[in-house]
Chains A and B, each alone.
Chain A
Amino acid sequence: MSKSAGFRVAAAFVSGTIFGLGLALSGMLNPARVRGFLDVARDWDPTLAFVLGGAVAVSAIGMSLARWIRKPLLDERFHLPETQLIDRRLIVGSAIFGVGWGMVGLCPGPAVASLSLGLPATILFLAAMFAGMAAHDHRLGVGLWGRAS
């Protein structure tokens, strides 16, 4: 591993740790709280709006700094999605994601971070989530069972 690759791994670990700490502090690890935010018609819990607001505000400062620098500190270029297209895949996929998120109150970040608590229900969710990801990627001919590209 080259020196900069080692630094990249360290930066990814630091970023992940701060992300997990933020999830724990914010209450986002708690599916009951997340569903309380989504339950706008009954007992609405606005906490998640503060979480998202704080996250997007600080992230936006980082993203505008990124526009100012020619390349990231530890890599040759920024790896950003190239497409701007709002297509059927984006909308249908996001809708499917939203239904699952609403059903349980867990999305990928909190599901992974919850591993630290070792709860059987979140581990089951994580296993099902990986199966869903693999099923999708398998249809595209990439991933676990048939890597084409």
Chain B
Amino acid sequence: MTAYISGLCGGMLIGLSAAILMLANGRVAGVSGILGRLLQGLHTATGAAFVAGLVVGPIVFRLLSGEWPEVVLAASWPVVVIGGLLVGYGSRMGSGCTSGHGVVGLARLSRRSMAAVATFMIAAVGTVYLMGFFV
């Protein structure tokens, strides 16, 4: 039950973050988009500031709660590398990830983002289901 409440509150903070970036800078809080533009040398100052904030966020959590958030990454190293390559390539090709399409796109009622979210959800659920037979 408490996990659901902190999930909801954490989600609301993520939504607040996206609202601030849109209302202040007029930009979509899409992490893959921001990272991609940083790689291309575009919007480097604001992009770097957003990324630095992302890293500082969990440290603020540590200061407030007294503990680090739980992170359990059970995947083997080859799976981590292949998954990382696919996440990087796919998010650039599909013009967004869970934040850009999921949090901002859905909130803007973008049909493009709805199609993207439905696609990556189905692909991810299918992948986890199939991997369950091998582990």
Q: Chain A interface (Cβ within 8 Å of chain B)?
A: 1, 5, 7-33, 35, 38-42, 46-48, 50-63, 65-66, 69, 71-75, 77-81, 83-86, 89-109, 111-117, 119, 121-122, 124-137, 142-144, 147
Contact = CB atoms under 8 A, between A and B. Distances in A.
Interface string B15-55: 11111111111111101100110011100011101111111
A69 B74 CA distance: 46
A7 B25 CA distance: 9
A88 B117 CA distance: 14
Contacts of B24: 7-8, 11, 15, 72-75
B73 A137 contact: no
B120 A98 contact: yes
Interface in B79-135: 79-95, 97-99, 101-104, 106-108, 110-112, 115-117, 119-129, 131-132
26 contacts: A17-B53, A17-B56, A21-B13, A24-B61, A29-B70, A30-B71, A31-B72, A50-B11, A55-B12, A65-B19, A80-B108, A91-B115, A93-B93, A100-B90, A104-B87, A106-B83, A111-B87, A113-B57, A125-B83, A128-B80, A133-B88, A134-B39, A134-B88, A137-B39, A142-B40, A147-B41
Interface of B: 3-29, 31-32, 35-36, 39-41, 45-47, 49-62, 68-75, 77, 79-95, 97-99, 101-104, 106-108, 110-112, 115-117, 119-129, 131-132
Contacts of B29: 15, 19
A42 B132 contact: yes
A97 to B, nearest CB: 3
Contacts, number: 505
A78 B22 contact: yes
By secondary structure, the A interface counts as: helix
Contacts of A109: 31, 54, 97-99
Nearest to B27: A79
A137 B92 contact: yes
A100 B110 CA distance: 24
A89 B54 CA distance: 28
